[in-house]
């Protein structure tokens, strides 16, 4: 158990819909990262937050947005969903801006 909690574990929805994925980092970790893994590919970095502020942005679509709340949990919002958005979405956390990343078990999104 990494200490990072992601909900929901599985989600099935239709094209055009909007979903929210939630992540609770390890206790005390200030950094939260979101990664997308599609079809047995590598993990693609989406976005990083540190203590409530956006820190780095990767290949995140404009239809996707994220935020980190004062209690340090984070949400990834995916809107106008397309079939190609079907993927595993991982959240990770770290104590600061360096150091080991601890990953959650992922949220599997299926868009039909």
Partner 1 sequence: DQQVKQNSPSLSVQEGRISILNCDYTNSMFDYFLWYKKYPAEGPTFLISISSIKDKNEDGRFTVFLNKSAKHLSLHIVPSQPGDSAVYFCAATSNNAGNMLTFGGGTRLMVKP
What is the nearest approach in angstroms of partner 1 to the Cβ of residue 52? 15
> Least CB distance from residue 42 to partner 1, whole Å?
4
> In the structure, how many helices (H) and strands (E) does the chain have?
0, 11
Closest CA to 76 of 58, 102, 98, 101: 58
Nearer to partner 1, 15 or 51 (CB): 51
Q: Which of 38, 37, 34 is nearest to 48 (CA)?
A: 34
Look at residues 72, 75, 63, 73 and name the one whose alpha carbon lies nearest to residue 16: 63
The contact set with partner 1 (CB under 8 A) reads: 2, 4, 31, 33, 35, 40-45, 48, 50, 55-56, 58, 90, 92, 94, 96-106
> Closest Cα partner for 33 from 20, 18, 50?
50
Q: Which is nearer to partner 1, 24 or 48 (CB)?
A: 48
Task: Give the nearest distance from C-beta 96 to partner 1 in angstroms.
Answer: 8
Q: How far is the CB of 85 from partner 1 (least distance, A)?
A: 19
Question: CB of 96 within 8 A of CB of 102?
Answer: no
Residue 14 or 40: the one with the smaller Cβ distance to partner 1 is: 40
Q: Which is nearer to partner 1, 75 or 105 (CB)?
A: 105
């Amino acid at each position: 158990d990494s200490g990072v909690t992601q909900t929901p574990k599985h989600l099935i929805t239709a094209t055009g819909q909007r979903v929210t994925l939630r992540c609770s980092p390890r206790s005390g970790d200030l950094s939260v990262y979101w990664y997308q893994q599609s079809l047995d590919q590598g993990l693609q970095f989406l976005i990083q937050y540190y203590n409530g502020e956006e820190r780095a942005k990767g290949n995140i679509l404009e239809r996707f947005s994220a935020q980190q709340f004062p209690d340090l949990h984070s949400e990834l919002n995916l809107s106008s969903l397309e079939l190609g958005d079907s993927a595993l979405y991982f959240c990770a956390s770290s104590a600061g801006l360096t150091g080991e990343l601890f990953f959650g078990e992922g949220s599997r999104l299926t868009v039909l």
